[in-house]
Structure 1
Amino acid sequence: MLTAIALSALAMTVIVALRYLAASALFAWITARRLPGFYAKLGPQMRREIGWSLASAAIYGVPAGVVAWGWQHRGWTQVYSDWDSYPLWYLPLAPLLYLLAHDAWFYWTHRWMHRPRPFRIAHAVHHASRPPTAWAAMSFHPIEALTGAVVIPALVFVIPIHVAMLGVVLVIMTVMGVTNHMGWEMFPRRLVHSRLGGWLITASHHQRHHEEYKCNYGLYFRHWDRLCGTDKGLSANA
């Protein structure tokens, strides 16, 4: 059993690492095509980002692998595979619930990471990316990676979700994590500055966090920043 769990954790680590490398490489390539030379002087920084991110992949992969094994072999979790287990209207609701829960956890742990001691010990690794690049999405100290690694594995025990919708959550998490760190805004201005865009976090919102630190702590949505008075709006440099 322990061998099977270890192999599951190893497999998930490889999957997380490949997902990160594929997404970051894609958006780094888009950046190179859209803004030639934008990352030209950031080679050493990007290599550090990749190193920290691959270490983070292992930290994310272990709990994910344990939970995946438990789901497959012991029936753990609220993940289901039959389309008719819940009403069809619940299919899109579950990912939204996951994103809202993840966003709340991230906002408050992220604010905690900006207290002097946690910042110095852990979060400074992420903020060493100046400016952040498409490779910085998982560039975390192990302590910070651990705070992020437990969220989805914990939620699958609490909130029922179809396995395909869980895949949607992971895709959104990966794409937003990468695109929010690209250093430039790839989404159309009419979306970013629309009423809907005013509630979503994109690169121009998160870029301001990397510029000023004490603001814009959210991950997907801006409601916690607005409720808590930490939303400083969009960066002029992204």
Structure 2
Amino acid sequence: MLESLDHPAWFAAIGSAAAMTVIVAVRYVLSSGGFALATRSVRPGLYDKLGPQIGAEIRWSLLSAAIYGVPAGIVAWGWRERGWTRIYTDIGEFPLWWLPVSLFVYMFAHDTWFYWTHRWMHAPRPFRIAHAVHHASRPPTAWAAMAFHPIEALTGAVVIPALVFLVPIHIAVLGLVLTIMTIMGVTNHMGWEIFPRALVHSRLGQWLITASHHQLHHEKYRCNYGLYFRVWDRICGTDAGLAKPGWDGR
């Protein structure tokens, strides 16, 4: 597909990649910054001694923004100008029941990819080369959501751009997928549980990942690998449950 592009098309595709990189970077700053401000209000002093760590998290995350933004921008351009993807805007193009189903399909596919690549990242060599960057956040903060080595960022950046070529999705549902991805990525790393205990400890909560679950991954490393759901952790025997009561100062 890319080989057939003329010079104006190449410039447009590059411009789209650059614009998407800026959008991803701004989204990161606003979302992580917003939850960091919430942390200052709800858990004052939690990040007070973590200045150098937060600086590193921001630098790695802005680099990751480019790695996420470039393929997303090219795919966005291809969708608008060449009809490359299966993103659709006419809500009547597929049955209405496909809207929630497609949301689940995207989230489960993303979660599956994340679980297995994340487990691979914990093998000694990949961990030493790449994933150690993310685990250098001790404890993680709201700024750590995208603090990845470029190799790890690349494994995460290809998922949604690949799915839009394979699975039909309405543009609004795709926006919801990206919103959930952003919120969960940040809130799982804040160092405190933003969701109510009634949800976290409910039957539904037993299948969802929140900060109480992911915090234990950052403490023990060899458990709780999932992104949204605890399904693969439970199937594969890597679910270690939730962090101990009071871990977040409640």
Task: Report the counterpart of residue 97 of structure 2 in structure 1.
Answer: 89
CA deviation vs aligned residue, 1:80-113 (integer Å, no higher than 9, x gap): 0001001111111111110000000000000000
Q: Equivalent residue of 2:142, what SS?
A: coil
Pairing 1:186–2:181 present:
no
Match of 1:73 among 81, 105, 112: 81
Structure 1, unmatched stretches of 5+, are: none
Pairing 1:105–2:113 present:
yes
Match of 2:127 among 108, 119, 130: 119
Task: Report the counterpart of residue 139 of structure 1 in structure 2.
Answer: 147
**Deviation at residue 235 of structure 1 after TM alignment:** 0.8
**Deviation at residue 182 of structure 1 after TM alignment:** 0.3
Q: Distance in 1 between matches of 2:188 and 2:218?
A: 11
Task: Report the counterpart of residue 209 of structure 1 in structure 2.
Answer: 217
CA deviation vs aligned residue, 1:43-83 (integer Å, no higher than 9, x gap): 11001000000000000001001100110010011100001
Match of 1:231 among 216, 234, 239: 239
Task: Report the counterpart of residue 156 of structure 2 in structure 1.
Answer: 148
Aligned alpha-carbon RMSD (Å): 0.5
The AA in structure 1 aligned to 2:108 is: L
Task: Report the counterpart of residue 38 of structure 2 in structure 1.
Answer: 30
Q: Distance in 2 between matches of 1:90 and 1:221?
A: 21
Displacement over 3 Å in runs of 4+: none
The AA in structure 2 aligned to 1:119 is: F
CA deviation vs aligned residue, 1:116-175 (integer Å, no higher than 9, x gap): 000000000000000000000000000000000000000001110000100000000000
Q: Equivalent residue of 1:156, what SS?
A: helix
Q: Distance in 1 between matches of 2:103 and 2:15?
A: 28
TM-score, length of structure 2 as denominator length: 0.94
The AA in structure 1 aligned to 2:106 is: Y
Q: Distance in 2 between matches of 1:32 and 1:96?
A: 33
Pairing 1:57–2:52 present:
no
CA deviation vs aligned residue, 1:16-59 (integer Å, no higher than 9, x gap): 11111111011101111001111000011001000000000000
Pairing 1:157–2:165 present:
yes
Q: Equivalent residue of 1:18, what SS?
A: helix
Q: Distance in 2 between matches of 1:166 and 1:160?
A: 10
Match of 1:12 among 7, 13, 20: 20
Q: Distance in 2 between matches of 1:13 and 1:94?
A: 25
TM-score, length of structure 1 as denominator length: 0.99
Pairing 1:40–2:48 present:
yes
Q: Equivalent residue of 1:157, what SS?
A: helix
- Kindly tell me the number of residue pairs found equivalent between the two proteins: 238
Q: Distance in 1 between matches of 2:205 and 2:38?
A: 22
Q: Distance in 1 between matches of 2:65 and 2:217?
A: 24
